[in-house]
Structure 1
Amino acid sequence: MANGNNRKVLVLGATGGIGGEVARQLRDQGWDVYALHRHAAPGGERRDGMAWVRGDALRREDVVAAAQGCDAIVHAVNPPGYRRWSELVLPMIDNTIAAATAAGATVVLPGTVYNYGPDAFPVLREDSPQRPRTRKGAVRVELERRLQQAADAGGCRMIIVRAGDFFGPQVGNSWFAQGLVKPGRPVATVLQPGQPGVGHQWSYLPDVARTMVLLLERRAALPAFAPFHMAGHWDADGTQMAAAIVRAVVRSGGAQPRVRAFPWWLTALAAPLAPTLRELREMRYLWQQPVGMANDALCAVLGAEPHTPLDEAVQTTLQGLGCLPAPAATAPGTPRSPARLPA
């Protein structure tokens, strides 16, 4: 069983947006990071300051073997493009639970608001009722139930960080990159999924990752099952994210983009042929009424929530998505500007 001073961590989903960001931040904090990947070299390889282990998150023996000696497992793996959730999500978390129980490790999970239905709105707290109205939401509720059951049984610990819609420089599978702008293209039009006046919550991925890292450092003082909510960036009237994108484009010398309503009617027509659009349409209820999250419990532990200013976060996101010119290259080894950290 791992001990509390061990700094070896297994990351599932290290090639994805949140998994990759958490892996890099843990590496930079001195953790010995192991990343499970199906196409890693036989016998493993080291690159980017991490050990890449060959294996599949859907094969329990691979996950258990890779987690040996680990004090933490970051479970940041999801089916690509929202596809096959009901088939793949729960088997993967069961494998992670088995590996964490065998190693005595803490599982860290990036959570979502999918767990909640309209009866819990407009402000979500960790103990708000979870009565989702979508298939993905029901899967997330069951996933977290299994995590809590494992924590209650002893032998492993669970940290969940629930946040709003992700955006960031390496987040392709997100509303920002799939709904508001088109990656790899200059921004001529910004689509606005919500109606003006309806608040919406966004979460900058490096801030979410930093929160997970800070909680992991404090894992010994947390309950065995510890869910937390992030306040992120609250778009009070549903127009501020679009406005921040417009400002970023204009600051970079581009023509002012148009802001248009998201074509929900098109998702209805294309849903039968496009799984991603079908899944996006299922989430429409999250844009039809204000949905925010209270971070009191998180601030009680960390003192403050990591928070990058909106304009800085949007600029970096658009550059990372190839929608704006990349910033001037820095010398090798020059550290990136971190998210704003709590004192």
Structure 2
Amino acid sequence: MTDDGGLHVIFGTGPVGMSVMDELTERGRRVRMVNRSGRADVPERVEVVGGDASDPAFSREASAGASAVYFALNPPYDKWPELFPPLQAAVIEGAVAAGAKLVAVENLYMYGPTDGLPLTEDLPHAAETRKGGVRARMSQELMRAHESGRARVAIGRASDFFGPRVLASAAGEQVFGRAVEGKSARVAGDPDQPHTYTYVPDIGKGLVILGEREEALGRAWHLPSPETVTTREFVEIAFEEAGKPARIQAAPKIVLRAIGLFNPPLRETIEMLYEFEEPFVVDHSDFARTFGDHATPLRTAIGETVRWYRDRLSGMG
């Protein structure tokens, strides 16, 4: 059964929210986007409203008339414990008031280290990090809202993402921006460990599928990702596509700690370094079996990302 009509409301105009918008507009859906400013670079037919999404009254107003609500907000990295749960709680209220499905995007922090075992959706939430704990509690809150009958919820989980519009990510500007300029890519942890990276347009498509399909409700799904390679191999492909000789600079933990003394968002990345110090391989076979595997091949995805960064660089010049 699919949901083909109605208004689709996206909370968040970052790379994930914009990729959801891309997918929905391609399918001819009506879209309203929600952010703090009320401004975003979107097609004319897409409505944008501004306000404080942590205010339940505003979120109810912004969600009015929706058949599906997408939660793709992400507060500053160093403000997660205080800002993230209230944002989600208010967006749940908006979806409940509208009688809409709620599709939330999550990362994989709630699992904690797996000693290199592949990440599957049935892993326990065993995170010992501050942000992993926040993620686990928020995910449990979403499932409680679904199981109690208050809301109809589906969760899509993605790994570190890359692609057009993605700047602040482990595979963002420090890799692609520097590759197109011929500078050394900066990565954290051990670049020779396998690491799954997710292409942001694939995230948008996956979330829209979850919003359309009734069988998606009531659980979390790992969204399709390209084939897993080591971070070094990933970076080498990016440089190949950029037509530059590959150069990579890996920052050890001691260096990150020193820089983090003066940079709170960077300091927050240090507790997540375990993801780059052991194999971090995401299994999306449940999604593929149920809905099909739409993962973009890795070289194609990296090539598209390099082209976006190159266009951005020429536009800045």
TM-score, length of structure 2 as denominator length: 0.90
Secondary structure of 1:239's counterpart equals helix
Superposed displacement of residue 17, structure 1: 0.6
Taking the TM superposition and a 5 Å limit, the aligned residue runs for 1:1-343 are 6-14=5-13, 16-40=14-38, 47-80=43-76, 82-119=77-114, 121-182=116-177, 186-218=181-213, 220-223=214-217, 225-250=218-243, 255-303=244-292, 305-322=293-310
Cα deviations by residue, 1:114-136 (Å, 9 ceiling, x for unpaired): 11112474211111111112111
User: What's 1:333 paired with?
Assistant: none
Q: Is the Cα–Cα contact under 8 Å of residues 318 and 324 in structure 1 kept in the other structure? A: no
Is the contact between residue 231 and residue 292 of structure 1 (CA under 8 Å) also seen in structure 2?
no
Partners of 1:257 and 1:295 lie apart in 2 by: 30
Q: Relative to structure 2, which stretch is displaced further, 313-322 or 22-31? A: 313-322
SS at match of 2:109: coil
Are the structure 2 counterparts of residues 272 and 70 from structure 1 closer, same or farther at C-alpha, using a change threshold of 3 Å?
same
Distance 2:311 2:129 in 1: 32
Q: Is the CA contact 2:224–2:287 (under 8 Å) kept in the aligned structure 1?
A: no
Q: CA deviation at 1:91?
A: 0.1
SS for the counterpart of 1:115 is helix
Over residues 150-177 of structure 1, what are the superposed CA-to-partner deviations in whole Å (9 max), with x where a residue is unaligned? Answer: 0011142111111111001101121112
Contact residue 17 and residue 171 of structure 1 kept, 8 A: yes
Q: Name the SS of the counterpart of 1:284 in structure 2.
A: helix
Q: Which amino acid aligns with 1:214?
A: I
Say whether the 8 Å CA contact 1:73–1:106 is kept in structure 2.
yes
Asked whether the equivalents of residues 117 and 130 of structure 1 are also in contact (C-alpha less than 8 Å), the reply is yes
- Which range is displaced more, 313-322 or 61-70? 313-322
Structure 1 Cα separation of the partners of residues 115 and 219 of structure 2: 20
- Decide whether the 8 Å contact of 2:115 with 2:278 is kept in 1: no
Structure 1 110/35 Cα, relative in aligned 2: closer, same or farther at 3 Å? same
Task: Point out where structure 2 has 5 or more consecutive residues left out of the alignment.
Answer: none
Matched residue type, 1:200: H
Cα contact 1:184–1:321 (8 A) shared by 2: no
1:11 partner amino acid: I
Deviation (angstroms), 1:102: 1.4
TM-score (norm 1): 0.84
Cα shift at 1:257: 3.3
Distance 1:4 1:180 in 2: 38
The 8 Å contact of residues 161 and 229 in structure 1, kept in 2 or not, is answered as: yes
The secondary structure found in structure 2 opposite 1:208 is helix
Structure having the higher helix fraction is: 2
Q: How high is the sequence identity, in percent, across the aligned residues?
A: 28
- SS of the equivalent of 2:126 reads coil
| CA deviation map 1:195-221 (0-9, x unaligned) | 254211100000111111122221x23
Report if aligned partners of 1:180, 1:193 keep a CA contact under 8 Å in 2.
no
For 2:5 and 2:176, locate their aligned partners in 1 and report how far apart those are by CA, in whole Å: 42
Cα 1:257–1:239 shift into 2, 3 Å:
closer
